[in-house]
Amino acid sequence: MTHFFIRPVRQSDLESLLEFVNSVPDSLATVPQDRTRLEERIDASLRSFIPRIKNPGSEHYLFVLEERNTGQIAGISGLIGRVGGFDPFYTYEIRTERITHKPMGIDKTIQFLYLKADHKGPSEIGSLLLNPAYRGDGLGRLLSLCRFLFMKRFPERFDQQVVAELRGHIDEEDQSPFWEAVGRPFFEVNFYEADMQCAMGDKDFIRDLMPAHPIYIPLLPSAVREIIGKVHKRSEPARRLLLQEGFTGTDEIDIFDAGPLMRAERENIRTIRQCKTAIVSRLMEETEEEYDRILSNRSLDFRACYGFLEEDADGSVALPESLAFLLRVNPGDSIDYVRVRDRPGERASP
């Protein structure tokens, strides 16, 4: 775990990243397995890190988890400055309608799905994928939380609201029951093709083909009703982590697989709220102490890793030389750092 660090994706990562995304069992529409589309995704990330950005826009930041000794890519995660804009951010909002009929003694509420298009939406976290060989080592947490340290350092690049779309239920045949019931009748493509097309920015088909009228949930098959807003079993750890960070559930779901949309105020996210900034006063010898913090530099050439530090009385910190090397910092530079988890008795949200 101590040999891994986070950095922005590079153009030179194309071959390694292509090998990585084609070798893991999970797939992400936002990180395509096609060479041309993946190269476009890397180019979009490179453009996002230019210094002159002062307001959140459609920037897609992509980070990789690199093994220090081998240069191997073991994971990826991403951020979007703001969803919406020229390409709307589509979700289904679960709404209710009251129906009454006194002669029959009926007074009840009915839920329905309303297609919502947001043209000036929140920031979004996503594109998290970790090599299964490294699950259980805390590297998924590093991939997730490092994004909040980047947001803390560059708040002007992100909206006050942050959302996360979690993957919805997929059946044993690797199909989305929700898509088959709600989307497939209007499209001549499967779930993954539609999701990929949307992820690459081609959303006109949603506007033109998605049902324009509300979809009443009681009319859907029971097997579909039961999975609305339910998370994929492999995304359950991500849901728990986001809850610990202060995210909450919403009444919105993904339009393709009905996965839940979670939301948080940026400044209320635990990692951002508890993050500290300090000057590195000195370097110290390596230590056997537990690496209980996530550390990052304060540069657009972003670096983050697990680590240990000593806090001095004057507010400065001391770092082991190996961590300073990973973060590309020297004495006199500043770093951000936060505990990996709350201590007993500390709260994840205000």
Cα-based angle 340, 238, 323 (whole degrees, multiple of 5):
30
Strand-pair partners of 76: 64, 129
Kindly name the residue from 101, 119, 213, 232 that is annotated as catalytic: 232
- Mean pLDDT, rounded, for 127-152: 92
Element (H, E) at 323: helix 321-327
Q: Is pLDDT above 90 for 264? A: yes
Q: What percentage of the chain carries pLDDT values higher than 90?
A: 66
pLDDT at 207: 77
Task: Sort 94 into a burial class: Cβ within 10 Å, 0-12 / 13-18 / 19+.
Answer: middle
pLDDT at 343: 57
Residues sharing a CB contact under 8 Å with residue 148, sequence separation 6 or more, in sequence order = 245, 269, 271, 272, 275
84-101/60-67 β-pairing: unpaired
Residues sharing a CB contact under 8 Å with residue 182, sequence separation 6 or more, in sequence order = 113, 211, 215, 220, 224, 258
8 Å CB contact between 67 and 135: no
pLDDT at 349: 39
pLDDT at 204: 73
Q: Is pLDDT above 90 for 62? A: yes
Distance CA 111, CA 90 (A): 19
**What's the pLDDT tens digit per position in 101-138?**
999 999 999 999 999 988 888 999 999 999 888 887 89
- Mean pLDDT, rounded, for 256-285: 96
3-state secondary structure of 147: helix
Q: Is pLDDT above 90 for 223? A: yes
Distance CA 348, CA 240 (A): 12
8 Å CB contact between 121 and 83: yes
pLDDT at 302: 98
Q: Where are the domains of the chain?
A: 84-120+160-272, 273-339
Element (H, E) at 20: helix 14-23
Distance CA 328, CA 297 (A): 7
CB neighbourhood size of 77 (10 A):
24
Global confidence as pTM: 0.90
Give residue 200's pLDDT band: very low, low, confident or very high (50, 70, 90). Answer: low
- Residue that is written with structure tokens 């081998």 in the block: 70
Written out in words, the top-level CATH class of the domain with range 273-339 is mainly beta
Distance CA 220, CA 192 (A): 21
Per-chain mean pLDDT for the chain: 89
For 9-81, strand residue ranges (E) read: 60-67, 73-80
Relative orientation angle of helices 14-23 and 35-48, to the nearest 10 degrees: 120
Distance CA 148, CA 125 (A): 9
Distance CA 128, CA 147 (A): 10
Q: Is pLDDT above 90 for 234? A: no
CB neighbourhood size of 43 (10 A):
14
- Residue 232 known to be catalytic: yes
